[in-house]
Amino acid sequence: MPQSDYSSPVSSNQAWLHPRLAQTVQRHLSHAFRRPVAQHSAVAYEQLLAALADRPRPLVLDSFCGTGQSTAALAQLHPQHLVVGVDQSRHRLQKHQPTERDNYLLLQANAEDLWQLLLRDQLSLDHHYLLYPNPWPKSKYLQRRVHGHGSFPWLLQLGGSIELRSNWQLYVEEFGVAMHLTGRRGAVEQISGDPALTLFEKKYRASGHRLWRYCFQPAP
C-alpha cells in the first residue's frame, strides 16, 4: 500500500473513559451554550431554506461531511428526504464528485452553527450522521469532542436517529455514555462488511483499523 494511502491508528494518552466526561456533559446540559453564528454559515443556511421552500421534505443531516461522498450515499439511502452535508472546509467540499441525485445539498458552514439555526426555526431531523469527526484524542481536548462540546445539547434537541462512526473505539463508547447520561440508550458495535461511506472509512479499513459505530433510534 502506498504510504499516502496508509493511516496510523489513533494514538492517545487516554486509556479509559475520560474521568470528567459525566461532569462535562452535565454542565453543558445545565448551561445554555451561546456563540454567534458565522456569516458564511448563515449564508449557507439560506440555501437549505430555499431548497426546502422549493420542495418541502424531511431532513437528514450529514455533519462534518468532508468531500460529501457520504452525503451522496445517504441521499440514495433516504430518497424521500433532503440530505444536507455540512463541512467547514471549502477545500474538502470542492473534491466532491457530483452525482445525478437531486435530493442532497452540500454546504460550507460550521456544523454547530447549522444546528443552532435549525433549532431557531424549529426544524428537526429524521436522521443525523456524524461520520468520523476529529476525535481529538489527547485527554486535554475532551471539550473539543462532539460529546464534550458545549453544543452537544443542540445535537440532542434536533431529534431523530443518530449514528456516529469512528476508528477509535473509546471515542464511540464515550459518545454512547454521554447519550446514556441524557436518557438516550443506543448501541455500540463494530462495523464489518458495510460499504465505506466516506473516504476516511475506506482508508481506515484498508489500513487494517477496526471501525466502530454508535446508533440511537428514538422510540416511535
Pairing verdict, β 211-216 and 161-166: antiparallel
Rounded CA-CA distance 86/66 in Å is: 8
- Cβ atoms of 43 and 175 within 8 Å: the answer is no
Q: How many residues does the chain have?
A: 220
Rounded CA-CA distance 92/139 in Å is: 27
- Cβ atoms of 162 and 60 within 8 Å: the answer is no
Domains of the chain, residue spans: 36-216
Question: pLDDT tens digit string along 58-85?
Answer: 999 999 999 999 999 999 999 999 999 9
Question: pLDDT tens digit string along 148-182?
Answer: 999 999 999 999 999 999 999 999 999 999 999 99
CATH fourth-level superfamily of 36-216:
Vaccinia Virus protein VP39 (3.40.50.150)
pLDDT digit of tens for each residue in the chain (220 aa)?
444 578 998 999 999 999 999 999 999 999 999 999 999 999 999 999 999 999 999 999 999 999 999 999 999 999 999 999 999 999 999 999 999 999 999 999 999 999 999 999 999 999 999 999 999 999 999 999 999 999 999 999 999 999 999 999 999 999 999 999 999 999 999 998 888 999 999 999 999 999 999 999 998 8
> Taking Cα atoms as reference points, which of 194, 202, 207, 199 lies closest to residue 215?
194
* 35 grid coordinates: 456563540
